[in-house]
Chain A
Amino acid sequence: MKIKSPKDFWSGLMFLGFGLFFAIWAVIHYQMGTAVRMGPAYFPTLLGGLLAFLGLVILLESFVAEGPPVPKFAFRPLILISVGCVLYGYLMKPLGLFVATLALVVVSALGGHEFKWKEVFILYVILMLFSWLVFVRGLTLPFPLCPDFIANCPIR
């Protein structure tokens, strides 16, 4: 058994994994019901099973048909950009808009080819002002500005 189409192999595996996850999770945690009175587990199990089946077909095909190899993974930007976005989300509540924006800009900038502290800092200041003016002032979004632990925040 030799994998002839690595790209298909991995995508098949991915679909299989997602499908099984959805189906199994639904079966374990929710009520199945019947086709007439579908319970919360019914549709996810069906769809998850279908996805797993399709993944399996793609997976098996990859042993038969020739296909393209998997191109090199862009791990660095992939991880850093994702981490930047996640940080932004999680830091917003405890540390406020300014810190969250700083984390997003710096971490995502690290994912690029060049990183110069001065440039990134200037960019941060511009984006921070933009966020404040547009999101908070303009759109009145309920973003906290200051970290939680500063009791009497001077900026409001």
Chain B
Amino acid sequence: MEIFHNLVLGFGVAITPIHLLYALIGCLLGTLIGVLPGIGPVATIAMLLPITFNLSPVAALIMLAGIYYGAQYGGSTTAILVNIPGESSSVVTCLDGYQMARQGRAGPALAVAALGSFFAGCVSTLIIALAAPPLAEVALKFGPSEYFSLMVFGLVAATVLAHGSLIKAIAMVVFGLLLGIVGTDVNSGVLRFTFNIPELSDGIGFVIVAMGMFGTAEIVANLELKDKREIFTKDVKNLWPTKEDFKRAWAPVLRGTALGSFLGILPGGGALLASFGAYTLEKKVSRHPEQFGKGAIEGVAGPESANNAGAQTSFIPMLTLGIPSNAVMALMIGALMIQGIAPGPQVMNEKPQLFWGLIASMWVGNLMLVVLNLPLIGMWVKLLTVPYRYLYPSILVFMAGDPQEARRGVRRRSLERRDRLHFEQVLLAHQAVDDKQRVGRIGAVREHAREFAQPELHEFRDVLRVHQIGGELHYVSPAGAGRFQRFLDLGEHAGALRVEIVAGCQHAGNEKEFTGLDSGHVRVLAERLAEGVDVVDADVCHGSSSP
């Protein structure tokens, strides 16, 4: 049994003390932000991204995943007790959960929500373990056209599944694509829609858009709401549901789990869609739909199981295809990139500890949440009495301080890995550069890499890239620049820089020739250069442009 072996491996990773600790931290944090309205998993994970920089990849993912599904648990607590959905995915739980609380049955509602979530968590963990390996195997064969089709499918699915106006959903997708265009054009190197703001040349990061859309927008919305809170904590003594409750709840839990697991996998899906879908489903199949909205336990059990199942199965496309199905997963990909891991089907084979450890930790985390949450409910609810006017400036400070740095962290690491081949043609074309000047600038860039504006870093990246080509040229000629040798670890690869510098000289001022070039031509350029400096056996087959 392959899967058994894998799960054992996974639990071996997940049950080490340090990973248990991070799972616990993640779950507690997740519950906390789930309880607090106005701060969701997207903002929290975005805030914590830079911190994960210092953790091991497994620990980082375990903690961030804990935040995500912990938030589903926490969100339901406030939905039931206070009629405030702490998380958007528990909006529907308010309908019946709060009514149950008003009837003095807050305890059973909370217990059913927690147990249903736990059951859903177990099942969806199993689903991930079963479904991910074959999916990843298929995904390994994917080429660019398959990935493109998947993206298009994702965008279409996102519009179809969105509730509300279809045409507005499409318009928002197009608008999102337009935001993605801001920055350096990968093909030509032209800066588009940057308005001479250097920070924009690297594009608008996903995290930043998410923070603006979900983070600050939610703060503004919350500030307009006047607080009216009625808290039912005193009724939470009698936790255990009655036999009748169990009888009514088990089928919705099963249905919710199935529906949630399915919707979670779809792009644009995840917890939110799952809970809404499950509520509608329960209302449709119920023999007494008139009870819904008046404290029907099915209306709590179904959506709560569904949102947890959806939260977990949405990991499947991320882990196997490297494609995020929702905002949280996009951030997870960011977390992996910080760690120097390119998400995709190869992760499972190359890093089995990471993959299976994460899956096992989900089960462990769910168990923790059930055990921890029910006794701690009183504490969570007390947190709700913290006035929002203390909370939101703090949230803003976290958000304002972090994301761009998180992105720089990502960039710094990815410099070494999977940067795109892209030549600053225009820059070279407009400036007649001489060797010394250029070398000096490069040295300075490295020295102050952090403070420098992005275009310089781009250039730096190109140099590194060309340095690879140069590496293949076998020391074209030593570039006698003492200065940069100190700052660049290019020492013996100095020839590479030389290649770039010479390229710059040859073509400077000849804009026409430059705009005619694309990334594939850099190879030719290197070839020509190799000729120029008498390198006979230049092996410049390079990257995807190799024949």
Complex Cα distance, B174 from A15, in Å, reads 10
Residues on B with C-beta less than 8 A from A89 are 400
Q: With an 8 A cutoff between CB atoms, is B352 at the interface?
A: no
Interface size on B, residues (CB 8 A): 42
Q: Closest Cβ of chain B: how far from A98's Cβ, in Å? A: 12
Q: With an 8 A cutoff between CB atoms, is B167 at the interface?
A: yes
Q: Are A112 and B392 in contact (CB under 8 A)?
A: yes
Q: Are A127 and B393 in contact (CB under 8 A)?
A: yes
With contacts defined as CB atoms under 8 Å apart, how many contacts are there between chain A and chain B in the complex?
123
Residues on A with C-beta less than 8 A from B178 are 18-19, 22, 44, 47-48, 51
Residues on A with C-beta less than 8 A from B281 are none
Q: With an 8 A cutoff between CB atoms, is A146 at the interface?
A: no
Q: Closest Cβ of chain A: how far from B334's Cβ, in Å? A: 16
Q: With an 8 A cutoff between CB atoms, is A145 at the interface?
A: no
Residues on A with C-beta less than 8 A from B187 are 38, 40
Q: Are A85 and B396 in contact (CB under 8 A)?
A: yes
Complex Cα distance, B392 from A119, in Å, reads 13
Q: Are B223 and A130 in contact (CB under 8 A)?
A: no
Residues on A with C-beta less than 8 A from B213 are none
Q: Closest Cβ of chain A: how far from B220's Cβ, in Å? A: 5
Q: With an 8 A cutoff between CB atoms, is B238 at the interface?
A: no
Give residues 389-415 of B contacting A (CB, 8 Å): 389-390, 392-394, 396-397, 399-402, 405
Give residues 184-206 of B contacting A (CB, 8 Å): 185, 187-188, 190, 192-193
Complex Cα distance, B168 from A57, in Å, reads 10
- Contact status of A139 and B50, CB under 8 A, knowing A40-B185, A58-B168, A82-B216: yes
Q: Are A131 and B405 in contact (CB under 8 A)?
A: no
- Contact status of A40 and B192, CB under 8 A, knowing A18-B178, A47-B174, A85-B216: yes
Which residue of chain B has the shortest Cβ distance to A16 in the bound complex?
B171
B216 CB contact (under 8 Å) in A19, A50, A81: A81
Complex Cα distance, B171 from A155, in Å, reads 50
Which residue of chain A has the shortest Cβ distance to B387 in the bound complex?
A114
Q: Are B174 and A84 in contact (CB under 8 A)?
A: no
Q: Are A58 and B174 in contact (CB under 8 A)?
A: no
Q: Closest Cβ of chain A: how far from B396's Cβ, in Å? A: 5
- Contact status of A109 and B167, CB under 8 A, knowing A50-B174, A51-B175, A85-B216: no
Complex Cα distance, B218 from A74, in Å, reads 12
Binding site for A on B (CB under 8 A): 50-51, 53, 165, 167-168, 170-171, 174-175, 177-178, 181, 185, 187-188, 190, 192-193, 216, 219-221, 223-224, 226, 388-390, 392-394, 396-397, 399-402, 405, 450-451, 515
Binding site for B on A (CB under 8 A): 8, 11, 15, 18-19, 22, 25-26, 30-31, 38-40, 43-44, 47-48, 50-51, 54-55, 57-58, 61, 74, 77-78, 81-82, 84-85, 88-89, 101, 104-105, 108-109, 111-114, 119-120, 123, 127, 130-131, 135, 138-139, 141-143
